[in-house]
Structure 1
Amino acid sequence: MNKGTHTQEYFEPNIRDHTMQELERVAGGNGIGTQRRLCLIALARDSETLRRLKTEEPEAFSDMEKAVFGFREHAEALLEVANAACVRIELISDNDEKQRH
């Protein structure tokens, strides 16, 4: 995402509609739900169970590891998107509030 041009009174879009639609399409089909479920499974298992999985099913454990770290990367990107959106909404809210007074 680019930072775009912005002041308190004006800012440009950070992304275009076609980019937004493409991001939605990719997010819906790239296994984010599976990654999230594997994170939850990792949280629901004790250390002994996870060690046993690593020993007995190293490929499955490796896949789980990749998924968990991939989900973290996705979640960090979502946080960045949410923070940027919040800033934009706050700018508009603050300006509208100032104009009323």
Structure 2
Amino acid sequence: MTTYIVLINWTELGARNVRESPKRLDAAKKLLGEMGGSFKSFYLTMGECDMVAIVEAPDDAVLARFALLLSSGGNVKTRTMKAFPEFAYREIISSLG
């Protein structure tokens, strides 16, 4: 599984309907599970992003479809970063020669 960091911001619609946000989070967790992935952690954040999720998915295409489906609901916009765990980081750095 590949790890991704998903930065999430409410749209104007999402902010207006913020009380429904926990239900939407539950639906997102279910959707990603059905796609073969999972939420590892989720945070409400202060600052540039409203929420941050650490998720796993089988591959980039699955996560891309997931992010597109989330955004198509009109309540959130996402930015996704592929995350390399420490062992991969060490391998990448050591391969520099």
TM-score interval w.r.t. the shorter chain? under 0.3
Find the structure with the greater CA-based Rg.
1
Q: Which of structures 1 and 2 has the larger relative contact order (alpha carbons within 8 angstroms, sep 6+)? A: 2
Greater share of helix residues, 1 or 2?
1
Greater share of strand residues, 1 or 2?
2
Structure-1-length-normalised TM-score: 0.25
Structure-2-length-normalised TM-score: 0.26
